[in-house]
């Protein structure tokens, strides 16, 4: 029995010596790795830890025409969203004249700014607001899409959702929200469709609701412009563009967009009158007020003209907006 206990003690002693030697070896290697790293070397194969570069993990960037994001970048927008289209019994319809208590199909076109990461099973949520700015959101439904990489066969992806309009006649605003927890840019995920048509009868009169959903008072004023989405000219990249990194290409495209689509390039046309009543107001918590807009075109006007109205808080952040169309035949 004593011999067995002696043998076990000897075995435990040998294991203890082995563990001490292993720890000393690891400490030595870590010190060597830190010394070499301080000199500018990164001997990953000999280091005690294997660092993983951030560029190894790719994040998708699902996006839709997001008015709030674009305006924050200094780019003019329309509230007639090019990525949201309504259908009735398979035929496209305008969001300007919807029937009450009627089922429509809402199709949202979704893009991915990432060329390396997909968003499989991307949740897409549909909601609506009463016509206006900051009004109460009502959830409708949600679905999922498989969004491929930019330039791939599954980009853009299309989300189709059914929506039965409220029984009370009126004008409503649609919102499509993309939900992705690990989004490379979560600020470009909310698209809004908010339009209304008025017949020019000297003048065309509109109204919409402005609501302050925050817990603190806000002072609002309004900006107006005549921006519409221009046609995009497709052209081949020159040799200098091909040598740019993804970040450099994005910065260059942003500069071009800001220059071409700056709101100062789209003033109210000469001869037009746009009167907003009141033109400035302060609303308390959850307070709501009707805003009137009177638009009078020149006497010789014939056709269709877009007027965008944007509500801006005192800190210059955008609360929302509407696109009003004046029509005269």
- 22 three-state secondary structure: helix
Please give the model's pTM, rounded to 2 decimal places.
Answer: 0.76
Task: With a cut of 80, say whether residue 260 has pLDDT above it.
Answer: yes
Query: Which tokens go with 50?
Result: 């294997």
pLDDT for the residue numbered 295:
94
What CATH architecture does domain 62-328 belong to?
Sandwich (2.60)
Mean pLDDT calculated for residue range 173-199:
89
Q: What is the pLDDT of residue 310?
A: 95
Residue 250: other Cβ atoms inside 10 A = 12
pLDDT, tens digit (0-9, with 9 covering 90-100), for 234-253: 565 666 666 777 778 888 88
Mean of the pLDDT values across residues 29-47? Answer: 57
pLDDT at 196: 77
Of residues 174 and 329, the one with the higher pLDDT is 174
| Mean pLDDT across 31-40 | 61
* pLDDT score for 51: 58
Predicted confidence at residue 200, as pLDDT, reads 63
Which of 129, 125, 324 is closest to 210 using CA atoms?
129
Higher-confidence residue of 7 and 23: namely: 23
If we measure between CA atoms, which residue out of 258, 302, 297, 322 comes closest to residue 75? 258
Q: What are 165-180's pLDDT values in tens digits?
A: 888 877 788 999 999 9
Q: Tell me which of 198 and 43 has the higher pLDDT.
A: 198
Q: Which residues pair with 85 in a beta bridge?
A: 107
- Residue 244: what pLDDT? 78
* pLDDT at 317 (0 to 100): 92
* Mean pLDDT of the 255-264 span: 89
Residue 181 scores a pLDDT above 80: yes
Identify the three-state secondary structure at position 89.
coil
Q: What is the 3-state secondary structure (H, E, C) of 159-206?
A: EEEEEECCCCCCCEEEEEEECCCCCCCHHHCEEEECEEEEECCCCEEE
For residue 224, give the nearest of 264, 174, 190, 282 by alpha carbon: 264
- Point out the least confidently predicted range of 28-37, 71-80, 285-294, 302-311: 28-37
pLDDT in tens, 128-167: 988 777 778 889 999 999 999 999 999 999 999 999 988 8
The pLDDT score that the predictor gives to residue 45 is: 47
Are 45 and 167 in contact by the 8 Å Cβ rule? The answer is: no
Residue from 320, 300, 105, 295 nearest 212 by CA? 320
Q: What is the pLDDT of residue 44?
A: 47
Which tens digit of pLDDT belongs to each residue from 195-229?
776 666 668 899 999 999 889 999 999 999 999 99
């Amino acid at each position: 029995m004593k011999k067995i206990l002696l043998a076990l003690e000897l075995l435990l002693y040998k294991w203890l010596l082995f563990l001490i030697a292993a720890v000393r070896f690891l400490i030595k290697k870590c010190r060597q790795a830190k010394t070499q790293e301080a000199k500018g070397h990164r001997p990953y194969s000999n280091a005690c830890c294997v660092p993983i570069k951030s560029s190894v993990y790719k994040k998708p960037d699902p996006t839709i025409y997001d008015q709030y994001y674009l305006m924050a970048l200094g780019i003019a927008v329309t509230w007639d969203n090019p990525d949201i289209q309504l259908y009735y019994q398979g035929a496209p319809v305008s969001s300007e004249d919807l029937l009450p208590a009627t089922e429509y199909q809402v199709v949202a076109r979704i893009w991915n700014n990432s060329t390396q990461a997909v968003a499989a099973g991307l949740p897409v949520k549909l909601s609506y607001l009463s016509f206006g700015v900051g009004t109460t959101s009502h959830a409708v439904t949600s679905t999922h899409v498989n969004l491929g990489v930019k330039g791939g066969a599954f980009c853009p992806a299309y989300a189709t959702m059914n929506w039965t309009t409220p029984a009370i006649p009126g004008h409503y605003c649609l919102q499509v929200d993309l939900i992705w927890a690990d989004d490379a840019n979560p600020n470009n995920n909310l698209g809004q469709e908010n339009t209304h048509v008025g017949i020019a009868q000297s003048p065309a009169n509109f109204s919409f609701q402005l609501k302050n959903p925050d817990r603190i008072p806000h002072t609002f004023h309004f900006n107006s412009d005549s921006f519409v989405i221009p046609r995009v000219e497709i052209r081949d990249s020159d040799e200098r563009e091909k040598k740019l990194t993804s970040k450099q290409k994005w910065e260059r495209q942003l500069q071009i967009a800001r220059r071409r689509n700056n709101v100062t390039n789209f003033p109210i046309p000469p001869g037009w009158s746009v009167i907003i009543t009141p033109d400035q107001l302060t609303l308390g918590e959850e307070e709501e007020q009707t805003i009137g807009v009177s638009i009078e075109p020149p006497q010789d006007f014939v056709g269709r003209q877009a007027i965008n109205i944007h509500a801006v808080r005192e800190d210059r952040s955008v609360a929302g907006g509407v696109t009003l169309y004046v029509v005269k035949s």
